């Protein structure tokens, strides 16, 4: 089992998300996260799907996605140089002396405070999957009230690295 990041270009038409989601549910494939938004080209949407599976299942997922008539292109970013980011809002308990400690933690991770009240702060964090997980685990001790996370978005790097 391995985490795979798939970049999928689809025709931006009604029902396309249902076709992709239905493929995963109907065949019992795992979706860890799914992000979809318009791509550069008019009429095309870009999906980034992360999934946990072995290599045989990954092969089936790629082929089955490609078989959908609305899917234009499928790329697996797992073994090619690519950048991947997730974003998260996390609302944290912040009272008294803990407020300063929380702000210092935010600084280390280059997070932003986007909302504040007398006893809570909402923090915006961006980073790869590991960084988001690390922030979350560090924030545990302050008392997490609420989380809103995106799935990953990913892009292939321009320069090939040796």
Partner 1 sequence: MECTGAQILLESLQKEGVDVLFGYPGGAVITIYDALPSFPKLRHIHVRHEQGAVHAADGYARASGKVGVCLVTSGPGATNTVTGIATAYCDSIPLVVFTGQVPTHLIGNDAFQEVDIVGITRPCTKHNFLVKDVNKLAVTIRQAFYLARSGRPGPVLVDLPSDIMVAKTEFVWPDDISMRSYNPTYKPNLNQLRRAVEELAQAERPVLLGGGGVIMANAAESLTTLARKLHIPVTCTLMGLGGFPGTDPLWLGMVGMHGTYAANMAINNADVLLCVGARFDDRVTGKLAAFAPKARIVHIDIDPTSIRKNVEVQVPVVGDCRLALEGMLEICAARLADKDWQGMHASWLAAVDAWKKDKPLSYQQGEAIKPQEVVEALYDITQGDAIVTTEVGQHQMWVAQFFAFTRPRTLLTSGGLGTMGYGFPAAMGAQIALPGKKVIAVAGDGSLLMNIQELTTIVANKLPVKVVILNNRYLGMVRQWQELFYKRNYSSTDMDAQPDFVKLAEAFGAEGYRIADPAQLRPMLEKALASPNPAIIDVVVEREENVYPMVPAGAALDEMLLV
Task: Name the residue nearer to partner 1 (CB basis): 65 or 121.
Answer: 65
Q: Which is nearer to partner 1, 67 or 112 (CB)?
A: 67
Dihedral angle over CA of 57, 22, 4, 47, nearest 10: 150
State the first-to-last Cα distance of the chain, in angstroms, to the nearest integer. 26
Locate 98 and state its tokens: 């803990």
- Interface residues with partner 1 (CB under 8 A) are 10-11, 14-15, 18-19, 22, 26, 56, 59-60, 63-64, 66-67, 69-72
Q: How far is the CB of 82 from partner 1 (least distance, A)?
A: 22
CA distance 84 to 138: 21
Nearer to partner 1, 13 or 146 (CB): 13
Minimal distance, residue 70 CB to partner 1, in Å = 6
- H-helix or E-strand containing 156? strand 153-156
**Minimal distance in Å, beta carbon 59 to partner 1?**
6
Residue 84 corresponds to which tokens in the numbers above?
């991947």
Judge whether 84 and 152 are in contact, CB under 8 Å.
yes
Q: Considering the complex, state which of residue 63 and residue 110 has its C-beta at the smaller distance from partner 1.
A: 63
What is the nearest approach in angstroms of partner 1 to the Cβ of residue 149? 28
């Amino acid at each position: 089992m391995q985490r795979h990041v798939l970049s999928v270009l689809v025709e931006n038409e009604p029902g396309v998300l249902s076709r992709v989601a239905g493929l995963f549910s109907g065949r019992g494939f795992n979706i860890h996260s799914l992000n979809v938004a318009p791509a550069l080209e008019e009429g095309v949407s870009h999906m980034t799907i992360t999934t946990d599976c072995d290599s045989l299942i990954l092969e089936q997922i790629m082929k089955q996605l490609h078989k959908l008539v609305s899917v234009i292109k499928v790329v697996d970013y797992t073994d090619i140089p690519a950048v991947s980011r997730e974003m998260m809002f996390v609302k944290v308990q912040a009272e008294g002396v803990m407020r300063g400690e929380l702000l210092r933690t935010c600084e280390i991770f280059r997070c932003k405070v986007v909302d504040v009240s007398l006893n809570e702060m909402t923090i915006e964090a961006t980073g790869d999957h590991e960084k988001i997980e690390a922030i979350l685990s560090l924030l545990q001790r302050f008392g997490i009230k609420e989380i809103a996370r995106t799935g990953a978005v990913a892009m292939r790097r321009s320069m090939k690295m040796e």
